[in-house]
Structure formats: C-alpha cells, structure tokens
Amino acid sequence: MPERRRNTPLWLLLFVRRLRSPEGRLAPLAVIAIAVSVTLATGLEMSSRSAQKHLDTTAESITGAAKIEIVAGDVGLAEEILEVARATPGVRAASPLVSVKLRIADRDFALNVIGVDLLAEEVVRKTVIERHGLEIRDPLRLLAGPSSVVVTEALLDRLDLGDDYREGRAVEIPVRANGRDASLSVQGVLRPTGIAAAFSGQVAVMDVYAAQILGGRAGMLDRIDIVPEPAQDVPALISALGAKLSGRATVQRSSARSRVAEDLLGMVKKAALILSGAAALVACLLTYATTAQWVERQRRQLATLRAVGMEARRVERMILAEVTLLAVIGTALGIAGGVAVSPPLLATLSEFLEVVAIERFEGVSLAPTTLWIASFVGLGAGITGGALPARRAASRFSLDSLDREPARGRGRSVRIWVAMLALTAFALLFASGSGIAAGSAMVRLGALLFSGILAILALAPHGLGLLRFALRPLQLYRPAVGHLTTRLFRMRPWTFAISLTAIASLVGTLLTVFLLIATVRSAFERWAESRFPGDPILVLPFSLSDPIGGDFLSSESIAAIRATPGVVAVSEQYKGDATILFRGQEVPLVAMTMSVVARHGHIPGIDRRSADLAADLSNGAVAVSPGFVKAFGLGTGDSIELDTSHGVQRFEIAGLYEDFGETTGSILLDIAAFDRHWKRPGASIAVAWTDSPSESVVDAIRRRAAGLQDLYFASGRDIVAVNRRLTQVFSSTLQALGAFMAALGAIGVMVLLTGIVSERRRDLAVLRAAGAEPRQLVEVVLVDAFALGAAGAGLGVALGFACAEPAADILRESFGWILEQRWTAAELPALIAGAVIASVLGAALPALSAYRTASDEVVGPE
C-alpha cells in the first residue's frame, strides 16, 4: 500500500475512495439536487433584485438633490403653485416636472419625455448636455424649439439612430402624441448621470412648457421638487409649504417611486418566496436521503474505523466534511446556473411590469445577498440534511461490522406522534380561516404548507401497504412483476417517505400558485364582462395590442362619435391615468358618464344596484372599492375630502363597487364632477351603445372622425382577452420554474431507486438465478417509480387544493379583491403527468443497473 502523504487529510482520501466505489454514484445526485435548488433561489433573487434596482434608480434620478416634493397625484398641480413654493422662505430652488409617456412609431416600447425647468435643474438634478462631443453651457437655447429634446445615447442606439447623430445628420424621433403623429428633434445627448439614468435610459428631456403642450397638460405640472436652503429645517419647511397649499396639494419628503410597480413586484416576490422555499425544503430532504444512504452503505467501513480506534466525534466530523464539500460544489454550480437563468427571468419580469414601469429591465449582477441566499439554500440544505446521518454514523459500534442488515423499525411511535401533531396543526390552520391578524394570510399559508408536508413525511412509511393494495390488480396481468412491486420500497421505507414527500410538496406548491392564478383570471374576466352589457362598441385612441397606450380621445373625437347615426349613447371614461393623494397615499380615480351608465351600462356594485349607484354618482357622490375601505376604513355613508385646484372638496360615499386596483383601492365618480375639479387630456375610452349593426356604425364613426385622430375599435370580449395578458406572463414564469422543480422530483426518485438497487444487487441476482429475465427487473423498477410518482402527485394535488383558498386570502388581505375560488387549472393535467414522467425518467439509471445485474453476483462480495 503506498504511503499516505502527510498533507492529505484522511477523510479526503477515504472520500475519494468512496467516490470510486459503487455507492459513489449517490454523490453526484446530492450535488445536482443542491445545485438545482440554488439555481432556482439565486435566479429569482437576482432577477427580482435587478428589477427593484431599476425602479430605485429611476426614483433617485427623478428626485435628485430634492428633499421635498409637492404632488397631487396624476391629476396634477396648478401651475401657479410653483410661484407660491418659490416665494416661501427657506426654499433654495423649486423645479417643476412634467412627465409624458409617448409611443414611438413602429416600436414596441415607450419613450418617457421629462419636461423640466432647465434654469432650476442645476440645483435639483445634475443634467449635463452635450452636442457633438461638446458640453452645452446654455441648454435653454438648445431646447428653445417646441419639439426639441435631448436624449441618451443608449436610446439613440436602441432606435438605430446613433450613427446618424454621431455623423452630424439631423435626427428626428417619430412619436404619437394626443392621437396625432409628431416628431421630436434631437438637439443633443445626456451624459449618463442624473436624470439620464431614469427609466433605464428610455428618457428624453425637453423644456417643461413644451412638455405641457406635447402632453395636452397646459397649465398643469406633475410635481414640484424642492431643494431647501442648507441651514433650513426640512420638517419645518414641509409644514410651512403644507399650510400655504392646504387643500390644493400635498407636501411630503421626496420619493418618486412607482407604487403600482412596487405592488406588482411585491406580488412576484411573494410567489418566488413560496417556490424557492419549497425548493430549499425539498433539497434538504433529498440531501438527507442521499447522505443517509451514503452512510448506510458505509456502515461496515465506518464500524471498522471505530474498531481500529477512530473516535465517534471524528467519524461525525468526517461525514459532515464530506457533505459540506458536496454542498459547496452544488452551491457553486447553482450560483453559475442562477447567473444563467436570471436574464430570461428578468426579461419576464420586465414584460410583467412594463405596463406600469415604462422601462425595460436589463442587466443582472451578483450581490452579497445572492451569495447569502445561495449559502443558506445550498450549504444550509446540505449540512442540515447531513447532520442526522452523520450523528448516526458516529453511533456505529465496532461489532456493527459483523451485522448483515441495519436495524429497522426504530422510531415508529415517534413518527406516529409527529404525524398526529402535524395533522392536528394542519386541520386547525385550515379551519381557522383568514383575518386572524393583520398580515397573517402569508404566515398561515406557509404554516399550512409546512404542516401538510410534515404529515406526509411522517405517514408515508405507513402507507406502503395501501400502495401495494392499489397495485394488486397488476398481479392478474403480470404476476411476477406484480408480486415484486413495492418490495424494494419496504426495504428503505424512510427514503421512500422522503422521495414521496419531495414530489408531493413540489406538486402541491405549484398547484397552489396555479389555482391562485386561475382564481384571479376568472375574477378579472367576470368583472370585465359585467362592465359592458348590451355588447357596445369600445372606441380607443390606441390598439389593445399596444401595451404602452398613452394616447387619449380628444373632445372633438368624442363629439364625432356621439353625432354618428346609429349611436344611441356614449359613456366617456377616464381610467388608469389619474390618481389623487389621500392621507398621503395615491388613490386611482375612475370617471365615467354616469347618466349613460345608469341607463345602458353597469357598475359592479357590492351593496347597491348599478342604476341606483350611478344615479347618485351623477349627482356628485362617489363610490369606493373594497381596497379603499381596507386601506382607510371609510365606506358607504362616510365622506372624504380631496384636494383640488380650487381647494378641498367634500364627497359623500354613496356605495361600494368592485375593482381590481392596488392596495389603496380606487374612487369612482361622474366624469362631469371630475372635470369640475381637475383637468384631463382627454378620454381613455368611449363606450358606444348602438341601435344599428356594429360594422356599419364603426364605418360611420371612421368617416366622421377622419382627420381628427386614429381610432381603434374593440368589444367587451377583446377587453377580457387583454386582461389575460398579465396572468399569462406570470403563468409562463411559473411553468419555467416548474421545470426546475420537476427536475428535483426526478432526482428524488433517482436517489431512492439508485440506493435500493445498489443495496439489493445480491437480491436481484438471486432473482436472476431463479429465472427472472432482465426486462422483468426493469419492469419492477419502472412500475415502482410510476407508483411513487402517481402517489406523490395525488398527495400533492390534495395539498394544493387545501392551500388554494389560503393563498387567495393573501390577495384578499392585501388588495381587498373579491375572489371566487376556482378549483381547476389548465396546468393541472400537465402537472400530474410531469410528476409521473419525472419519476419514471428518474428511474432510468436504476433500471439500467438492475438490467445489468448478473446471476453470478449472488456469490460475489458485498
């Protein structure tokens, strides 16, 4: 025997030797299980963190050096407020800002035009402008034209206009503004600092007054950013400005964050947390199963080491060192996998949030949080899964080297007690319902999932008899195969339990999320269909296939639609483009022609009939959504005070209506009431009821509105189809994540069957010597895998159904949405089939090993 080098640890030499032995094939399975779970966790972390970073960068770039902002929501501020702010003692600079979202002609993304006062910008936001490589000292002269803009070089390159600009040719950007074609003349480029970093570079800067005209917001500002004097106390200045502008605007510390985007991203993060948590739990179980088999296969070697004098503590440290090394390798591979999958995940998040964030998310990077999560999932799962087997290995006595079989049957009573406690906790959590405490829905769902998984894990070894009973009909058709099925499982019931639990937890978690998506989609469709009774014509200023929108129907277009023969009534609607600050939070405003809605349309009222509610709203009252009630505690019979350009106005709440808005809910009012207190650039949509065939009326509207603006036509069914867009994007993301989790399930089956086949090669050899054919052994392994996958999928479906309602409670609690639980999901058949197929594929290598078993191995060494 060659002399061992002194600088090589004994445990490492033994580890390398065991890797070369037959049981060494279990090590790659442990590494893969950890790597897949780390890939899933780090990919989700990097993509969601990058999206959050883009939103933070935009907010910081818009805010600049400002400490205070004056806002009134998307309804805007009256222009005269600017002079009031500048005249307030303690204000060093007050910079107005107007943001206009434009569609670039023949492009699938938006351009964010920021209108600023360039004289005040030097103090608030560092905006450096160049023209053909030279810094412009007087940018106001450069932007004197009504369509003059400066843009980022990144935007020019994305529009394939960078070379034209650098070569000195005139550059024009064709856009759609107020329903008409327009052209922006590029006069220079922004250095990549300050406001140029907003919206991922999809930004153009122009003079604030030109932006007002371009966006149809003459006399209105979106916000005013305040830089105090160096010695000025900020809270005192906020109080002074608030007193001057009470009832007309809200004065607060600077933020500039997109609340809608933050809410949607938070929803994605919650789903990612559930999925990555389930993956980490499964990785821990699989690492335990792999390490337990690894240790069990070495029981004689470990006992021999104890017999020659190795201390128990040293044996335990040796096993933990081996498991840690495998976990480190798996974690490193998982981080590399996370880097690979995070860009497509970020692209999906970008598509999901593009409607509200108005920017494309690009670029992911490693961060300390990524490494921390990778270590927690990978090293944590590996070490946690290997701790108990390592402890068990240290308890081996030297006489164990003479044992033929490991001790079995221990801990049965403990498992029964654990199962009873888990089932009791599961039943209590399931029956408790929502509303135990604020924010409890997420905790309840996590506890329900954990207790259900724990119950399956504890009860699985006792369910082998039921599984064998379910497969008894197989003995009628394949007696030899039917007689041997599940016998291999009974040799390792605990590893069987872990593999079954892994499959069930993955299926259950995915089904919970898919049922939640089906529930939300169904509620959206029901809500959208109820809004347009009588199959009216919907007239829009942009195509429904355009995710950007941004245009509005002009008053001339609305008049032309109303005057068209065959049109009975038109409800002018302004929705999704106006918010107002109430108690410091943005609340969306929704305005409609209530006199028309009362006769022809429908308000999805909760406590009142649609016609009665619409009649009260046409007289100046408002309705609020359940989300508003949850956020502010105000409902039917109460009143609210809102800031307007004419001061504070009081509105009576006439009723509640259903809406799928943000966490602050929404306010519904008559469009005439809106126009009395705020300005708007036009209408978002016109709903026209007709007494003639729709096709002829559409043609007549096109002829009458020709030359005014481009119009697009749709029906209520088209709106329903568009509402599916976000849920479909979310579903596609989860389907991709489901592939990772299916891989974990396949690894679980492979770990179980590989260990069983490796340990029972002599028993399989006896069967071969007794006349069994190789293909029969393959059939036994594959049938066992099929049964394992089917049983795991069945338990997972039951777990998913049990957790579906608590998952929907998270949205009910956060947004106040009214959701009728759906118990079917289009992905359910594929989910069950995927679990079974993954199990069978995971049995491929063990089946091949069984096929190659020779009869002469019955007399071979163990």
Check whether residue 494 and residue 557 sit in a common domain: no
Residues 2 and 42 in one domain: yes
The C-alpha torsion from 10 through 12 and 15 to 16, rounded to 10°, is: -110
Closest C-alpha among 730, 673, 701, 686 to residue 564: 701
- Dihedral angle at the C-alpha atoms of 98, 99, 104, 107, nearest 10 degrees? 170
Please tell me the predicted confidence (pLDDT) of residue 276.
63
Q: In the numeric block, which tokens belong to residue 422? A: 């888990």
* Ordered strands of the 567-573 beta sheet: 567-573, 685-690, 537-540, 712-714
Residue at 478: amino acid letter: R
Residues 715 and 726 in one domain: no
Residue 175 lies in a domain: yes
- Whether residue 92 is found in the same domain as residue 21: no
Tell me whether residue 749 is in a domain.
Answer: yes
Q: Once rounded to an integer, what is the mean pLDDT over residues 478-490?
A: 69
**What is the SS3 assignment for 69?**
strand
Given pLDDT bands bounded at 50, 70 and 90, which one contains residue 406? very low
Please say if the pLDDT value at position 398 is more than 50. Answer: no
Q: Which amino acid is at 680?
A: R
Assign residue 534 a region (left: φ > 0; alpha: ψ between -120 and 50; beta: otherwise).
left
Cβ atoms within 10 Å, residue 844: 17
Distance, in Å, from the CA atom of 319 to the CA atom of 321, rounded to the nearest integer, reads 5
Instruction: Show the domain range for 118.
Output: 65-253
Residue with structure tokens 């007002």? 212
By the 8 A CB rule, do 333 and 35 touch?
yes
- Is pLDDT of 447 > 60? yes
Percentage of residues in the chain having pLDDT higher than 70: 71
* Cβ neighbours of residue 193 closer than 8 Å, sequence gap 6 or more: 126, 128
Look at residue 596 and tell me whether its pLDDT is greater than 90: yes
Q: Quick one: 170 and 229 in the same domain?
A: yes
Q: Name residue 341's amino acid.
A: V
With the CA atoms of 460, 30, 489 and 405 taken in that order, what torsion angle do they form, in degrees rounded to the nearest 10? -110
The per-residue DSSP string of 211-263 comes to HHHHTT-TTEESEEEEEE-TT--HHHHHHHHHHHTTTT-EEEE-----HHHHH
Reply yes or no on whether the pLDDT at 862 is more than 60: no
Which residues lie below 8 Å from residue 792, measured CB to CB, with a gap of 6+? 499, 500, 501, 502, 503, 504, 507, 745, 835, 839
- DSSP classification of residue 856: G
Residue 80 has pLDDT above 80, yes or no: yes
The reply to whether 357 and 402 lie within a common domain is yes
Q: Nearest 5°: CA angle at 675, between 669 and 677?
A: 85
The pLDDT of 386-404, averaged and rounded, is 58
pLDDT at 561: 92
When mean pLDDT is compared across 92-101, 269-278, 709-718, 824-833, the lowest value belongs to: 269-278
DSSP 683: B
Predicted local distance difference test score (pLDDT) of residue 612: 93
Judge whether residue 451 has pLDDT over 80.
yes
Strands 77-78 and 134-135: unpaired
The per-residue pLDDT for 687 is 92
pLDDT > 90: what percent of the chain?
A: 11
Residue 680 has pLDDT above 60, yes or no: yes
End-to-end CA distance of the chain: 22
Is 626 found in the same domain as 570? yes
Tokens of 763: 């028993």
Give residues with Cβ within 8 angstroms of 763, minimum separation 6: none
* Domain edge (last residue) among 698, 721, 744: 721
Q: Which residue has the higher pLDDT, 213 or 274?
A: 213
Highest averaged pLDDT of the listed ranges 297-301, 564-568, 746-750: 564-568
Is pLDDT of 152 > 90? no
The residue out of 253, 282, 304 marking a domain boundary is: 253
Task: With a cut of 50, say whether residue 418 has pLDDT above it.
Answer: yes
The C-alpha angle 660, 663, 664, rounded to 5 degrees, equals: 95
217 with 101: CB under 8 angstroms? no
Specify the range with the lowest mean pLDDT, choosing from 398-412, 603-617, 773-787.
398-412
- With H, G, I as helix, E, B as strand and everything else as coil, classify residue 55: helix
Which tokens hold the place of 236? 């005192």
- Sheet with 639-644, strands from edge to edge, namely 579-582, 585-592, 667-670, 622-624, 647-656, 639-644
Please state the three-class secondary structure of 86-124 as a single string. Answer: HCCCCEEEEEEEEEEEEEECCCCCEEEEEEECHHHHHHH
Under a CB-based contact definition with an 8 Å cutoff, are residues 796 and 511 in contact?
A: yes
Looking at 229-243, 299-313, 521-535, which range is the least confident one?
299-313
Parallel, antiparallel or unpaired: strands 622-624 and 667-670 = antiparallel
- pLDDT for the residue 521: 82
Residue 672 C-alpha from the chain's centroid: 38
Task: Give residue for tokens 């009728």.
Answer: 820
pLDDT at 78: 85
Give pTM, 2 decimals: 0.74
Which residue type occupies 810?
I
Q: Are 621 and 611 in contact (CB under 8 A)?
A: no
Q: Is 378 exposed, middle or buried (0-12, 13-18, 19+ CB in 10 A)?
A: buried
Residue 142 CB: number of other CB atoms within 10 A? 18
Average pLDDT, the chain: 77
DSSP state of 4: P
Give pLDDT, residue 117.
Answer: 80
Determine, yes or no, domain membership for 356: yes
pLDDT at 285: 66
- Cα–Cα distances in Å, from 710 out to 177, 180, 293, 562, 698? 11, 7, 70, 16, 13
Q: Is the distance from CB of 84 to CB of 225 less than 8 angstroms?
A: no
442 assigned to some structural domain: no
Residue 661 lies in a domain: yes
Mean pLDDT computed over 258-286: 62
Among the listed ranges 105-109, 243-247, 814-818, which one has the minimum average pLDDT value?
A: 105-109
Same domain? For 274 and 377 the reply is: yes
Q: Which stretches of 663-773 are DSSP H helices?
A: 671-677, 694-704, 716-759, 761-769
Q: Please write the tens of the pLDDT for every residue from 337-357.
A: 888 888 877 776 666 555 554
DSSP one-letter code for 605: B
Q: Is the pLDDT of residue 396 over 50?
A: yes
Looking at residue 25, its pLDDT comes to 65
509 plus 556 within the same structural domain: no
Domain boundary (253, 273, 292) is at 253
Residues 44 and 78 in one domain: no
pLDDT for position 220: 85
Within a domain: 436: no
Confidence bin at 746 (pLDDT 50/70/90): low
For the packed helices 380-394 and 312-357, what is the interaxial angle rounded to 10 degrees?
160
Is there a domain that residue 438 lies in? Answer: no
Which of 13-27, 223-237, 435-449, 490-504 reaches the highest mean pLDDT?
223-237
Q: Would you place residue 6 in the very low, low, confident or very high pLDDT band (cuts 50, 70, 90)? A: low
Do 49 and 86 share a domain, yes or no? no
Of 741 and 702, which is predicted with more confidence? 702
In this structure, are residues 123 and 198 in contact, taking their beta carbons and an 8 Å threshold? no
Contacts of 505 (CB under 8 A, 6+ apart): 278, 281, 282, 449, 453, 456, 796, 799
| Same structural domain, 33 and 87 | no
Mean pLDDT lowest among 176-190, 377-391, 648-662: 377-391
Tally of structural domains, the chain: 4
Residue 465 neighbours by CB distance under 10 Å: 10
**At 146, is the secondary structure helix, strand, or coil?**
coil
Tens-digit pLDDT profile for residues 8-18: 666 677 677 66
**Confidence tier at 594 by pLDDT (50, 70, 90):** very high
Task: Give the distance, in angstroms, between the CA of residue 596 and the centroid of all CA atoms in the same chain.
Answer: 39
Q: Which residue has the higher pLDDT, 61 or 32?
A: 32
pLDDT the model gives residue 634: 92
Tallying the residues shown for the chain, one arrives at 862
Would the pLDDT of 136 be above 60?
A: no
What is the mean pLDDT of the segment spanning 700-716? 84
User: Is residue 324 a part of any domain in this protein?
Assistant: yes
What tens digit of pLDDT does each residue of 302-341 get? 667 767 777 777 777 777 887 888 889 888 998 988 888 8
Per-position DSSP letters for 261-320, written without gaps between them: HHHHHHHHHHHHHHHHHHHHHHHHHHHHHHHHHHHHHTHHHHHHHHHTT--HHHHHHHHH
Question: For 603-613, what is each residue's pLDDT tens digit?
Answer: 998 989 999 99
Long-range contacts of 82-89 (CB under 8 A, 24+ apart): 82/221, 82/224, 84/244, 84/245, 85/224, 85/226, 85/241, 85/245, 88/237, 88/240, 88/241, 88/244, 89/240
Among 271-280, 598-607, 626-635, 703-712, the minimum mean pLDDT is found in 271-280
Range name among 524-533, 763-772, 801-810 with the lowest pLDDT average: 763-772
How far are the Cα atoms of 12, 20, 313, 314 from residue 7, in angstroms, in the given order? Answer: 11, 21, 21, 18
Helix (H, G, I), strand (E, B), or coil: what is residue 623? strand
- Round to whole Å and give the CA distance between 808 and 396: 49
Closest CA to 223 of 75, 119, 71: 71
The DSSP result for 298-309, as a single string, is: THHHHHHHHHTT
Closest CA relative to residue 386, chosen from 301, 327, 453: 327
DSSP assignment, residue 379? I
Burial class of residue 131 in the structure, from the number of CB atoms within 10 Å of its CB (0-12 exposed, 13-18 middle, 19+ buried): middle
